[in-house]
Structure 1
């Protein structure tokens, strides 16, 4: 829901980029670049993305089944390859035994060659020619047998290696099949995630387009008022105050969203010191202290006509908080079940000074709200005219570029250095930014 973030974003931008806020107009909000429209037309429809997501889901489910089947097949194949009864294992064992037998035969043949050579060498000098011929023949036959045994051993070793590798290849192939199934499942899951993400993104964009197209309206009778926030805060201390949201209208507001944004700088106005601040809230229905996230509280709930709710607030400043100035922006929005929305026309400002740790503030009073906008139609065509300080006149600058004395405190002056003088005026643009058709309300 766009309105949940509109106030927080717009008011924060009033400090960091007020020129952008003041440049926004209803005409700009309603006008979209031609290229953007063309891009939207070229995008697949939600129906097409739903069909793609359904196909991706189906493919993923099939991939899961295929993976599971492959795993069963692989386990069975590996178990069989571990058994001596498998044909490849039988062949490998036989080849291994043949290689062993060939090695034994070669060893015996080599021994016979050695013995024949020894017998030939041992013949006496007076040995007959026949004896010498018989010894030489025996050696030749032994050498031939040894050569044949060596050839047979080489062949048997090769066959044994091939048979062993066949078993190994079968195991690798089984695992490879499982790996292919795993990769197919991984790809199917990635495709499913991508399809689901594309569909979710398209739906979100469609919802945001609907939200942006809704006409929100200002509700002067919805008020948010702070009490108990002093004009001086000391670093290292915690300050308690309260925020009351009232529905002064004659209708029920289904959901209230309260904005509480605190912005601060050091004395130069050039350094943002917001990181040293911690803002918390609690209520009667939710007494546990909770940190304010993104500068808004959406747990207020509904308010009947004339009803109000009080939030307890506490602002803690770190001991390291530099002395300087700060401002709190307070506003409220509503959102109804029928799609209507709106809220306070602008954000009220509460200014305060920040004292260094250990300082003893003098007599202080509660900070007073300074309305930032009015709902009267302005001359710029936006339907809302920014106002200045509490006097209702625009803030003026002196010759040195600082804010002149127009009822603004030193906090406004310092904050203005960081965000420009439009900080005082910038909150007025909140209404313009968050309500796309503000101009049509005039």
Structure 2
């Protein structure tokens, strides 16, 4: 029997519809003939997936073009808004000048009121009634002028503020449009990655149709990450935990974990994975070891209703550009009697990458997509990662003295996706244990 990973029907169906798919969920095909027939009839064909991938590619290219146009528009708008000739800027400047004139007029009116009051205060005791009346009239007129000037100043200030807000709003709207274009590009990229992955998996599945019976996924084996923050900083090392749990009633004789980390810069077009170093250790093997080809295949056996924790360490080089990253996590098992299986899909944990020296705000643990329903560790006894006995292998990689048939178990885990030089390159990473028929 051979393990074969393919995209779940839900994933394949989603990429043919206008829905942004943000996670890649591999699944196994049923090994029974009837179930295989039903599974095939419910899955999109390779031709349909090719059409979906082509449509996703076209949508992505259009989104890139729209993003570039939006950025150009922002630059042009900001340049225009920095010129006094722009209608909004001209209106704001005129309103500002009018507000200043109104303020000067109010100051003059207030000064006239003060002068009129001073004249009245300095009238001699023997001043004539005519003189007193003239002074009072002058004060009344000055106060009326001051009141009108105050009203005019308030109106001018309001108009100047509104005109200034109009300039600010124009700048904000330009940035908002650019932000919407950036988000559309992110969504198009996610859909393209999913479509490419679906097609790659379907093609690989078709190639393996005649290789033997397939393994069936299930919830018996789970792989859950805890402690991986949703923000990482270049130049820093982050520790987190990968917990694998055997929920079945029988021992899983050899367990293999898949942990793939992929990242891009902020544009989403440049692969930055070379700046990441992923390592692991366990209680029984405390020395830190590099994760090779995204696989950890020395875990050994996992007894029924037990779990094992692997310590993970992710180090980002100081030169790591700011951007976005994902960690794909899955696990498979196989036994000496030929039975095999694994997690129904590869969960995706998203995180942001901050430039070196950044001080991230309050971070949270990255959440899996799709979210797992099994809480790590509930109802299980812990088990050391190498407490079981791994299945023995011969020098050619085949299972030794296991009683397996010539159709020896093979394993194929779905890898992540990364974007390099403007195109999404889907890495379907597979590890195969070949037998005498390989």
TM category, shorter: 0.3 to 0.5
Q: TM-score, normalised by structure 1?
A: 0.45
Structure with larger Rg: 1
Q: Which structure shows the higher helix fraction?
A: 1
